[in-house]
Amino acid sequence: MPFYNVQGSIPPKRHTVFKKNNKILFEQHVSREGFSGIYSNMYHLSMPTELIKVGNFVKSKLEKASCKHKARHIKSYKIKKFGDPINSRMPILFNNDLIISLVHISKNMDYFFRNGHYDELFYVQYGNGVIKTNFGNLKYKKGDYIIIPKGTIYKINYESETKLLLVESVTSINSPKKYKNKFGQLLESSPYCERDIIIPILEKPINKKGEFTIKVRLEDGFQDYVYNHHPFDVVGWDGFYFPWIFNIKNFEPIVGSLHQPPSVHQTFESNNFVVCSFVSRLFDFHKDAIPSPYPHSNIDSDEFIFYSEGKFMSRSGIRGESITLHPMGLPHGPQPGKYESSIGKKGTEELAVMIDTFRPLYLTKSAIELSDKDYCLSWIK
């Protein structure tokens, strides 16, 4: 979320001498798009370049498990994989722009992590804990969207068992341009504002020497780097580049007299995909309104929906942690009887995360194994 923030102690001018206890501090410039995008300047007790060891590169390559073009119901609630926030990741869908995974945390990390090639967006299905980063700490809870830009060093300490939906994006994940004025401030008509954004709180710098492993995620695998000092030795930073949190229940739904298109639920955007939030809301109030979604064909996008909680009026056989995938071009919509039965209803209590991608999504072997093979025929009575 690009707005200016400052934490801890910083000098009056950039790129000037800055000392603590008569010892010089080391400035680190972290920026997007070379030197043309948003950036932050961080001030360290130790030089951030003091690398003492490079580990082996461990390959991790995704493969397409099926190219069959049909609607899917992926029962992610059946996933049994557990572990720490990194090794418990189970990719289910991907393309050249993003990777969608499920993460089931039952163990804390004994190392630090940095995603070197992807921005990360987590959605917290359940659980709570603390994400400790080099920008400060973020406490997470159920319903939080957690945005961690690439290059951020962090460690997740879970306090209760945690289930996450994860999107890794090649490009940055931002609030939609349509919600902002020319200065980058969220508009009055935006469904959320800056007050809803939680920013990291910088703790006291950790001045420790030793061996500190940072596992780095790269495009085709993982690389360990070992530094001679603790990475959270930051005394202060300022800028527009930092991790942040927005809770789905702070999204204010836009409603109308007739059924509104999914685009009114847009929450984030990136290159070639958008993220939308379906939240509890009043239904359409025209006297002849049909609250249920109308059958539609997304000619240019694949539609992914993660059903978080509540009752979903247009679908049967769906429960919390169900995932549906409706590929581009195929007509889909309410299942038999749902269209008619929605007439006269006043509202809905639901939470769901939708991702529309503008390039086809490919399924992994795990997604195939979790799929209901007959879902594509569920529009027949």
pLDDT digits (tens, 9 = 90+) for 113-157: 999 999 999 999 999 999 999 999 999 999 999 999 999 999 999
Closest of 210, 219, 208, 227 to residue 55, by C-alpha:
227
Task: List, for residues 52-73, the tens digit of each pLDDT value.
Answer: 999 989 999 899 998 889 999 9
**What strands, in cross-sheet order, belong to the sheet with 273-278?**
72-75, 322-326, 302-310, 350-357, 273-278, 266-270
Backbone angles phi, psi at 8, to 5 degrees: 70, -150
Residue 284 pLDDT exceeds 80 = no
The CATH classification number of 249-377 equals 2.60.120.10
- Mind listing the pLDDT tens digit for each residue in 350-377? 899 999 999 999 999 999 999 999 999 9
Q: Are 154 and 135 in contact (CB under 8 A)?
A: no
Most confident of 80-89, 134-143, 342-351: 134-143
Distance CA 313, CA 291 (A): 9
Look up the pTM and report it: 0.94
Q: List the structure tokens of 103.
A: 């993460």
Query: What digits encode the pLDDT tens for the residues 145-169?
Result: 999 999 999 999 999 999 999 999 9
Q: Is the pLDDT of residue 282 over 80?
A: no
Helix (H/G/I), strand (E/B), else coil: 179: helix
The per-residue pLDDT for range 229-271, each reduced to its tens digit, is 999 999 999 999 999 999 999 999 888 777 778 889 999 999 9
192: which DSSP letter?
S
CATH of range 50-63+80-234+241-247; options 2.60.120.10, 3.40.50.300, 3.30.70.100, 2.30.110.10: 2.60.120.10
Domains 50-63+80-234+241-247 and 249-377 equal at CATH topology level: yes
Domain ranges across the chain: 50-63+80-234+241-247, 249-377
